Structure 1
Amino acid sequence: MSNGGAGVWPEVKREFILFPAVDVLDGECVRLRRGDYETKTVFAQRPRDAAVRWLTAGAHYLHVVDLNGARDGVSLNQAAIADVVQVAAEKGASVQVGGGIRQLDTVARWLDMGVSRCVIGTAALIPGWLEQALRRFGSEALVVGLDGRDEKLAVRGWLEQTQVAITDLAKQWSQLGVRHALVTDVGRDGMLAGANLDLACQVQDQGLQAIASGGIRHLNDVLAAQRAGLAGAVAGRALYDGSLDLTQALAALQHSLDKEDGNRVDETNYPLF
């Protein structure tokens, strides 16, 4: 069994993780709107530069998506993503990678490269695939991607819409032994429309630790996801266009955790939100 990267994931479920997103298309760091490849905006020619930016701002976890892999099932970005994993490792940070991971050997390759967790979407629908992956890699190395529109699953880079209810799959996969889920409302992704926390909470109610993705606009959305008891959230366009400050958001999350723990908190050390 491969153990993945050296980064450490929190053992305590309530420790909320804010993941900066690094989406890679044709070797560049980009953002899309609603998963439409024709709407790409390039934010960095080298994805490692985006990673360094977020790591320097205080991130301990990164969410990386291979958009070529998600769309075509073939990765053109392995070298670029390897650079991101390397700079993260130098900072002691963890990386989860998704996009086009449809073979068990692909999971093994990413984990051997230093990736800590792999996000599995389309392949999870193949009968027996998840069971094999869980036996080979363990539940901590895997995240199921529950991406959809109108609470129904979308697959193959969000290009194909199914009629499968996301919550039904969440229950089924939780019973298999899956622990982690990335929940994306495709209609909100890249639109700064607010995350679909209701859907993420429904998934979490099925026994999975849910990470909300798609639509995070600002600090209040991040704090709302934390208050909802979710395991984390992925922020993309809001970070890149400046409407969400990562350092401030991380401080606010820690502040909230300190207050929950009943620790004495010096309010002057935190920004006003």
Structure 2
Amino acid sequence: MDPKINPLLRPFSATDIRKAILDMAYSGGTVHIACAFSIVELLAVLYRKHLRVAADNPDHPERDYMVLSKGHGVMAQYACLHHLGWLPDADLRDYFKDGTRLKGLADAHVPGVEVTSGSLGHGLSVGVGLALAAQRRSTEQKCYALVGDGELNEGAVWEAALFAAQFCLDNLIVIIDKNGFQAMGSTDEVIALGDIAAKFAAFGFDVIEVDGHDEAAIDHGFRVLGARTDGRPKAMVARTVKGKGVSFMEHNNLWHYTRLSPEIYERAVGEVIAV
């Protein structure tokens, strides 16, 4: 079977993903909810409309690659893989429990997860390698690599960016989750990033900026970047809100590491499903 876009067993929305994230975090008694919420629309649009995969084979040799370098946001990806039919209900229900295969950071042993990440700064380098291999095989494969803005503090990210431009990897699309926070504070407080779009442009990338929660804008951005084959790697700088979808989590960096109580879980679910 050739890889196709959207070989879904069941349709899903951003609301479905956020509800699944809350269910996983509550069941597993774990953290990183707000980090996952900021990338929901980005992954939803990518999996529904752009990523070419084979429904019956997550390891199809001609698939597009989705590298989640921001590995602590993996609950959002797990929810998408669940809707692809690659992860059963039991996996999500047992998230982060003893014996589970779904851990709190991205793990390449899980079907559909390309890279073990969470030690930040390394995923993009792997994505660059995948894009280079596809280029050398003359396939039509694309590699999408999602990084956090705080992750851009890592020097390895910029080494990978230099390499991507040097080797004209126009099949590489880097998605930057620009939510303005990282674990220990705002990005401006920790290491100010300045103009991220201008930085990637200076490294030879074809760059666009989008509202990272506007699905139509994200879809258009992927279409525009995917159609350009001018030898430049691509970057989509997505302006997002950490904790998007639950009012008391939005822009509140305490929710990088805060766990859900039964009462807070019910309150959060109520906000998410009311959208």
Query: How does the TM-score come out when normalised to structure 1?
Result: 0.36
Higher relative contact order (CA 8 A, sep 6+): 2
Question: Larger strand proportion, structure 1 or 2?
Answer: 1
TM-score by length of 2: 0.36
Say which structure is richer in helix: 2
